[in-house]
Amino acid sequence: MEPFYFKSYNKTIGVAHNVKELQEGIEHLDQEAIKYHLKEGHVVAWLNYIGEKGLAEILKGVEDPKEAVSRIKEYEMLKDSMQKLPTKPKKQSWKKKYYKLNY
């Protein structure tokens, strides 16, 4: 998969291979370059390309780097908490319940 290249006047100023690196780039690189990439939809297009469609949807229309970082952090926290949820136990059929209770 191709990384995301942060560019400013045709010069590469940063590279992101994943969402964490993208977030760090948005936080620390030239804010005018970041605003350009957000406004032009480059970040959203790359997120769709790497399969982060949920985050891409959340960042659609966001042009402020601070807002983008805030939404990325919130998305990552939500994603992490969803992965830690316990799975539902399998439902027992009515026959198993009946026999379990009556025998």
Query: Are 1 and 49 in contact, with CB atoms under 8 Å apart?
Result: yes
DSSP 75: H
Average pLDDT over residues 21-45: 98
Q: What is the pLDDT of residue 101?
A: 61
Write the single-letter amino acid at 57: E
Query: Tens digits of per-residue pLDDT, 64-97?
Result: 999 999 999 999 999 888 877 666 666 666 556 5
pTM: predicted TM-score of the whole model, two decimal places:
0.79
